Amino acid sequence: MASDMLQMVVNMLRAQRDATPQIVDPLVLRAGMESMTGLMPLAPDVTHEPTVVGGVRAEWVAAPDAHEDRVVLYLHGGAYVMGSINTHRDLAGRISRASGARVLNVDYRLAPEHPHPAAVEDSTAVYRWLIGEGYDAADLAVAGDSAGGGLTVATLVALRDQKQPLPAAGVCLSPWVDLEGVGESMTTKADVDPMVQREHLVMMAKHYLADHPPRTPLAAPLYADLSGLPPLYVQVGTAETLLDDSVRLAERARKAGVDVTLEQWDDMIHVFQAFAPMLPEGQQAIDRIGEYLRARWA
């Protein structure tokens, strides 16, 4: 049974959605998402250090005792048009603590100013920088939520095609991998999802795709060749419209021979891990991510 705090989070999100139902301007959406950062303050013992790597803005986020040579390259969510290292700093810090690794929180370029493939270019540039600096691929992981979860898969596909050494694992939290929104859960979960609806997703997808077809593999990695990818760990809530993105991604990856772990968390909403300061299940899921990564690195 879900914790009592879940309904409080759901009510908060519904109230915010109902108060601003018609906002479509990416700049306004970004400002709104940034304003929520204060609700998720960084733990005082977690450090964050701005940097530029591979020509891309990023920051190092590290909990005490984080292993210096183990890195989680983190790709934030926000439908490719919003979100930043600010909005996901607390989540990055919690992943650092759980995994015992430093997190490189990446501020990849956003659409519509920088449509596809800008995000993939930035994420792969950062990974190649890590390899060029001497980090062992076996000590790396790529992770992300929502659009960042889809970008995680696209990054792994692009790195494979570039003949780069692949990381120990990819971690996807409620990944957005189908930019057309044709999964059955887009309809069946619409009434219970307080955050994500198909109409809004399709609009964001147009910003990101620009002139690219909606099934372009590195934009919608559900349609990519997934063979040869490292193990994938996928977490998703059963009360979100993007549930079937995760289910279909796991099915296609398994058929391609990829080692996939899919966890469906009962009654949880989109990227519930981001609400860990309020939601016990969010922290429990992050702890599971840490366990998974530590096992892969072991």
Q: Which residues are catalytic?
A: 146, 240, 270
Measure the CA–CA gap between 184 and 148, rounded to whole angstroms: 22
CA 261 to chain centre: 16
Residue 148 parent element (H or E): helix 147-161
What is the three-class DSSP state of 212? coil
Could you tell me which residues come within 8 angstroms of residue 29 by beta carbon, excluding any fewer than 6 positions away? 23, 81, 82
- The candidate with the shortest Cα–Cα distance to 28, out of 66, 81, 75, is 81
The 3-class SS string of 50-62 reads EEEECCEEEEEEE
Backbone angles phi, psi at 217, to 5 degrees: -55, -40
